[in-house]
Amino acid sequence: MGRQLLVLGGGGREHALTSALARSPSVSVVHTAPGNPGTARLGPTHAIDATDPDAVTALARELAVDLVVVGPEAPLVAGVVDALERVGIAAFGPTAAAARIEGSKAFAKEIMEAAGAPTGGSVATSDRSEALAALERFGAPYVVKADGLAAGKGVRICTELAEASDAVDDALLRGVFGSAGSRIVVEEYLAGPERSVFGVCDGTEVVLLEPAQDYKRALDGDEGLNTGGMGAYTPVPGFSLGDVDHLADLVFRPVLEELADRGTPYRGLLYAGLVDTEAGPKLLEFNARFGDPETQAILPRIDSDLAELLWAAATGSVAEQQVAWRDDAAVTVVLASGGYPGSYPTGVPIHGIDELAGLDDVEVFHAGTRLDDGQLVTAGGRVLAVTALGGEVADARRRAYAAADRITFEGLHRRSDIASGV
């Protein structure tokens, strides 16, 4: 009998996790809560509030699952992993205290500095005049951040001092971000290309995953508004696993040691956001979960047992794990609702997905969909993520767009330049 798993969350990242876990040889069943119409094809779904620690532990006990895998940050911050620990159920994901590395930018900077991990200078403060002094000291471009979670809207990069001091006042005086902005972080600006690296952590040790490049802007040529992510590809030339190996010692292990020393060991996925500056890589931020849509590109390339790896992380033996990677490249194209990231309609019928079911090495991950009387309809800004594998990035790209072209819904918007020119 294989392991029984429960994946928390219901987006494209969780569908990709569920798919990779369902094909892991060590697994017998993958439940999802709440899941979505895509995960429902891979295992049972359960309509509970995944951010409610009592509801999650009750479900995990009832199903007698061996491991709970937490997708999004909200259940982590709500203490779901702490509650599971208390009842003796293994979980892949950090406790609320360790997840503060994402939830508080001041805490993240404090940990980076204490660990001696490379990052830019910063000042965390609730005092307006201290903030203004820091702005003057660091100079332009000015970086002002709300300390807490602000739905991706808490960061302002300004070229003018007046604009930056207005950003300070928005947070500290006008309370634009509520309690998330009652403290702010003023940072040194880091110039260079942005990269992210994912580490599977067990409290002391880490296994790095193949990096992917994502696309944050809504429109081709990196124009338009910031989004949750419009596509991704992997491997990234010049930024493969061999190129980031040194970050395990430079960034991950010191940070894990620092968190463990404070009595809050980090188990789960640690996402390091970095800038490749002229002086080498410097940390921008941490996230406490897999990136979306990078996960939809990375996981289909894993050839070994993902469930074994996540189990090892949850139980403290990740150092013994070897991840096998397919040589193929992967490209993910996100299909979004018209208007996203602004307002958009929902309930729009989706056509053409079923015809893709038979294609080898093509997966359609559900991000924002629901079933309406048996008809699949849109239910979010990012609706689907289409991933294809291929020998080279260009092959995977051709196959991903050929598959994406067969899916239609009114108002569908996607970028046409994901992985182009790679």
Ligand X SMILES: Nc1ncnc2c1ncn2[C@@H]1O[C@H](COP(=O)(O)OP(=O)(O)O)[C@@H](O)[C@H]1O
Contact residues for ligand X, defined by CB under 6 A: 120, 143, 152, 155, 157, 187, 189-190, 194, 273, 284-285
Nearer CB in complex with ligand X: 120/381: 120
Nearer CB in complex with ligand X: 121/338: 121
DSSP 8-state code for residue 410? T
Q: How far is the CB of 71 from ligand X (least distance, A)?
A: 17
∠ Cα 334 338 340 (to 5°): 70
For residues 93 and 26, is the Cβ–Cβ distance under 8 A?
Answer: no
Q: Is 205 exposed, middle or buried (0-12, 13-18, 19+ CB in 10 A)?
A: buried
Q: How many helices (H) and strands (E) does the chain have?
A: 14, 19
DSSP alpha helix (H) spans, 7-72:
12-22, 53-63
**Stretch (H or E) spanning 171:** helix 161-172
Nearer CB in complex with ligand X: 98/146: 146
Nearer CB in complex with ligand X: 72/265: 72
Nearer CB in complex with ligand X: 152/391: 152
Q: How far is the CB of 226 from ligand X (least distance, A)?
A: 8
Express the helix, strand and coil content of the chain in percent, nearest 5 each.
35, 30, 35
For residues 330 and 300, is the Cβ–Cβ distance under 8 A?
Answer: yes
Could you tell me the maximum CA-CA distance found in the chain, to the nearest angstrom?
A: 64
Nearer CB in complex with ligand X: 194/405: 194
Q: How far is the CB of 183 from ligand X (least distance, A)?
A: 15
For residues 72 and 11, is the Cβ–Cβ distance under 8 A?
Answer: yes
